[in-house]
Chains A and B, each alone.
Chain A
Amino acid sequence: MSRVTEAPAVNWPTLTDQEVVLRARAGSERAYRELVRRYERPIFSLIYRMVRDRELAEDLAQETFVKALNALDSYRPEYKFSSWIFKISNNAAIDHLRRRELDTLSLEGSPHAATPDAIEATALQIGDRGETPLDVVEAKELGGEIEQAIARLRPEYRQCILLRHVDGRAYEEIAEILDLPLGTVKTYIHRARNELRLHLAHLRE
């Protein structure tokens, strides 16, 4: 059956997440795509930094979106959509880490990769933010050091520090996403920062 085409007047970027969800619930395919576009990068980045394996991160991110979008009817609009979907992605990553006991990994690739191609394919790619070539090199070097330091953190510290300082979530939202008391979240973040400072101390020398 052909779907109803969207009115061209809809300015999607200006809609709130809640408005997009209402349109998705009403059967708009474009609204589903808008939700994926808004969250594919932050969700994929968070999972990638948690599991350190690109292919696996894509699978878990896809699982997150499919689970969330197929359960849109159970989403309650009085809560932030970002908290809801981050909670689902975090559960997917933590479940996987518990199953595999994959808590600290190297940047050089997944320990489950058997061939050189697989190791290269699963190695962490350091991104850039479109700055000058020198900035990019410096940012990549520093970014690589920080990614390595984050990879050495315990999973619970890692998820807290990523949500707080990479995604910019408030302490209260992180507590909601991770189902942890606010005090515990603050403690984890401060301990994570202490560990990161120690891991990165050589950069200041």
Chain B
Amino acid sequence: MTRDLEQHLTADELDLVHENRAPASIRAHLTMCADCSRLAETDRQLVHALSRLALHVPSAGFEDRVMAAVRIPEPISATEALRRRIFSTRRSLLMAATLVLGLLGSMGASVAWSLTHREALLAFSRSVQHGLLDIAWTTVRSLVTSLIEQPWYAGVRGVLDTPERLAFALGAVMIGWLGGMLLLRRLIALPDQRVAHESF
């Protein structure tokens, strides 16, 4: 699209030039119109100089003076922080309400379905119960069978085949366990004497 040479750039079009978003018609006009070209360049220099103005710094202690005059609320619990976060924006409140409604709705639907399908639930629980019992019994049987077939099983059984030997073995295990507990307790006990750097 061509543009009349007499139709000079508007302020908005100058902004587009500074932001490098000017369309081809404006760029073409700038190459032909000396007035607009000069104005755009002067304006660009001005905008650049303004953007380079330094920030001023308040005097030392400004932050502390502000903090001395600010009322800081007491720290709040995680629950209270969550509650405030939920109620902080309309969006977060809407999301929380949707979540709660979804949970309550699904719980209600679940209860209603359970009440109307009691026979189906009972049959299902019975079949699950039977299935679990079968699995447990099969597991126990296979474990025992596996244990009996171990090569060392006959030797161990021979050692423990009288009540006296069994009592002796159990006593030895108990003494070993008690000894271990006492040793552990001694190792993890706190020192009873004052130590350096205690106050830190």
Contacts and interface: CB of A to CB of B under 8 A. Distances in A.
Interface of A: 1, 3-4, 22, 24-29, 32-33, 36-37, 40-42, 44-45, 48-49, 57-58, 61-62, 65-66, 69-70, 76-78, 125-129, 139, 142-143, 146-147, 161, 165-166, 168, 186, 190, 193, 196-197, 200, 204
B63 A27 contact: no
B117 interface: no
Given A4-B75, A142-B49, A197-B42, A40 B58 contact: yes
B62 interface: yes
A66 B70 contact: yes
A192 to B, nearest CB: 10
B56 A190 contact: no
A32 B72 CA distance: 8
5 contacts: A22-B81, A27-B76, A41-B58, A66-B66, A129-B52
Given A61-B58, A127-B54, A204-B42, A26 B70 contact: no
B70 A65 contact: yes
Interface in B45-87: 46-47, 49-59, 62-63, 65-67, 69-76, 80-81, 84-85
Contacts of B46: 193, 196-197, 200
Interface of B: 11-12, 14, 42-43, 46-47, 49-59, 62-63, 65-67, 69-76, 80-81, 84-85, 88-91
A201 B52 CA distance: 19
B91 to A, nearest CB: 7
Contacts of A139: 52, 54
B62 A62 contact: yes
Contacts of B63: 33, 36-37, 40
A33 B72 CA distance: 11
Given A33-B63, A48-B56, A66 B74 contact: no
A198 B31 CA distance: 24
B91 A78 contact: yes
